[in-house]
Amino acid sequence: MTSKQNQGGFALLLFMIVVIGFAILGTSSLLTSTIDQKTDQRRMKTQKVLQEAKEALLMFTYNYPQFNLEGPGRLPCPDVNNNGLSGALTLPLCQSVGRFPWNDPNLNFYDARDADNERLWYAVSDNFYNLGGGPIINSGSSGTITIFDQTGAMLYDGTVSGIAAVIIAPGSAINGQDRSIANGDDPFDDDPDDDPGIITASNYLDSFNGFDNSSFVNGSNINSDGFILGPVYDAAQNFITVNDQMVIITAEEIVAMAEKATLQAYRDALNDYVNRPGFGRYPWLDPYDSSDGLTTFDAEVTSAAPAPVIGRLPSIFSSYFTADGVVSAAIKTDLNFVMNIDGFPVQGSVPASVLPDVFFNAAGDLSTSFDNGFSFKSYAWDGRTGMADPNSPNDGVWELCSGNISSITGVQEDDCNRKTDGTFKTASDSNLTQSDVWLKVREITVTFIDGGSPFEIPLANRTAAPLVYVPPDGANHAFVTSQYNNSPAFFSVTYEQDNVFMSNFSLQSSGTMIFNGGDTFSVSMFYYPELPNWSLTNGWHDNLQLAYSSAVQPGGDGICSTGVDDCLTLLNSPGIVNDKLALLILSGIDNDGDADVGLVDNGGGPQFFSDDLNDIFEGENNTLDLTFDQRPVTGNDIVLLLE
């Protein structure tokens, strides 16, 4: 063989080696690309499941008031035994880390799995769990869980402002994790499990370099007490040492849902109030600069109030005359009584000035107290058959005399020869001479006998008659009236009677009146919007105010002139901005990160209250003009337009 032939063969061999090398390299590259693509697909599938679980939890926080009295913003505890139900090992705290409670009847989720067919895991901050007895939740709430990124840098500090919850997809077993099952349990049914291979968090959640996702401590920022985001690649060991994939829920996300739920609860309460037959107007408000403390939930009738009126919503935090198992917050109100005893009408009032606050107990009974011996007088007469015939006495029909509570009926009767202040008329007060008036008059005295302890009007004594609602007007609050038909034990009724009354009262007979079958009495009190109890206990009511045009305040004409006089302007809102009638404003978190709490009344009032709107709202929302801002540039007030 010649030298040239040898060289040609060597060149061909070299060429083949190069071709084979490129082929191997191409195959390897294709294989790597395929593996990477499958890994990405698996991560995307897992991420979708995690995001669905997060959305379910956020809706859980929004809907929480529907199935619990604690208010919005609460999260379920983790599942401690793999049956899908939330639980706790030691009350009142949740287990630190457990399975995702997919089977909770109020969560409306499914038995979700990650791309490795593993059930999800979950942890919740002590500031947001739903076992009761935890901190209140409002715009100032923060999380207590610490989060680190893949490099070990802290993203959220649980000692300052951590996150509210974390949902974790464990992925496949790594680093010697033992997920074997010793007792034959099915890891994917909904029966409680106790096998370590199923319920031990460290068999599923990873640890690395001081970080441990299988446990955490609330309010700590130590590596082992927080969560590290995966995947984490250990270059020294040349493999992934943390393959946990997770999604976090921030405190801000929970608070935003709670704020929406709170504003919706206020909207619902106002709608119920405004839409009652004959109403069509908002209630008188508790002015923002009122000298009353926050524990007083009344309102002031201010017919000359500025436009718009702005203030806290006067409220009953529970339901009037309804047994709901919740003790309501107290309110200041007159108590007006209308009775019928043995055919005798009785009408009188206990003013709010002599009453402690009125509230409803857990049975729904109205409860209050005042000094033993407090009484009011009412007068009934039997005289004429009609107003046109004043000289027809003793027809056997007793009627209510004037001079008592006219605000209940709105009627002033010209009878009994009495003026509205309760004194007797004289010839100079009437076209009638004294000799023209000949009546049988009964003076009835109602005396409260229960002393300083609360008396209660039992819900069980109520008749089937519906509540009566009297709308507010330019000079009065709205009233609500409930009728009862059993003998009240908290007062006694006595009478004195003049059978031949003319110009003065002369005692003819006296006695005690006893409630019998068919006798009734009704109680009327100020009617305010009915808010859920949690709106008070969680502090929402301190930082939420209502503003409205004078057109829709009691006595208003219901019509505002767009951009001319008393319409509200809401900047940064869609459409026409200067034709608004009413809106709610909720104070968010201050720009410095602190909630608008700790406010102090400039007059030395209670905590969480201020007579300076600058302490509560920002920008256009803290002035008394007609202009408000949906999205103030320098703040984060939340504004809900009502109409």
Residues 417-440: tens digit of each pLDDT: 555 555 555 555 554 444 445 567
Residue 233: is its pLDDT beyond 70?
Answer: yes
Q: Rounded mean pLDDT of 301-308?
A: 65
CB 102 within 8 A of CB 120: yes
Please give the pLDDT value at position 432. 46
What is the predicted pLDDT for the residue at 565? Answer: 65
Token pair in block for residue 128: 């947001």
Q: Where are the beta strands (DSSP E) in 179-290?
A: 207-208, 211-212, 227-228, 232-234, 239-242, 245-250, 286-287
User: For 234-277, what is each residue's pLDDT tens digit?
Assistant: 777 777 888 889 899 999 999 989 999 999 999 999 999 999 99
Give the bridge partners for 287, in sequence order. Answer: 311
**What average pLDDT score do residues 353-380 get?**
78
Per-residue pLDDT tens digits for 323-340: 677 788 888 888 888 888
314-318, 597-601, 614-618: least confident range:
597-601
* Ranges of H-type helices in 220-365: 251-274
Do 260 and 253 form a contact (C-beta atoms < 8 A)? Answer: no
Q: Which pLDDT score is estimated for 167? A: 95
Residue 268 has a pLDDT of 93
Q: Which residues contact 200 (CB under 8 A, 6 or more apart)?
A: none
Decide if 613 contacts 553 (C-beta within 8 A): no
Q: What is the pLDDT of residues 82-116, one digit of tens each?
A: 999 888 666 667 878 999 999 998 888 999 999 99
* pLDDT per position as a tens digit, 159-177: 888 899 999 999 988 888 8
Quick check: 600 pLDDT over 50? no
Q: Are 182 and 158 in contact (CB under 8 A)?
A: no
Residue labelled with tokens 């718009």: 308
Average pLDDT over the chain reads 77
Instruction: Look at residue 554 and tell me whether its pLDDT is greater than 70.
Output: yes
Report the distance separating Cα 314 and Cα 320, nearest Å: 14
User: Could you tell me how far CA 187 lies from the centroid of its own chain?
Assistant: 39
Q: Greater confidence, 516 or 73?
A: 73
pTM (predicted TM-score): 0.82
Contact 187, 169 (CB under 8 A): no
pLDDT of residue 308: 65
pLDDT at 402: 59
Supply φ then ψ for residue 557, to 5 degrees.
Answer: -85, -5
- Half-sphere exposure in the Cβ direction for 237 (13 Å, CA): 11
Indicate if the pLDDT at residue 385 is higher than 50.
no
Which uninterrupted H or E stretch holds 11?
helix 3-63
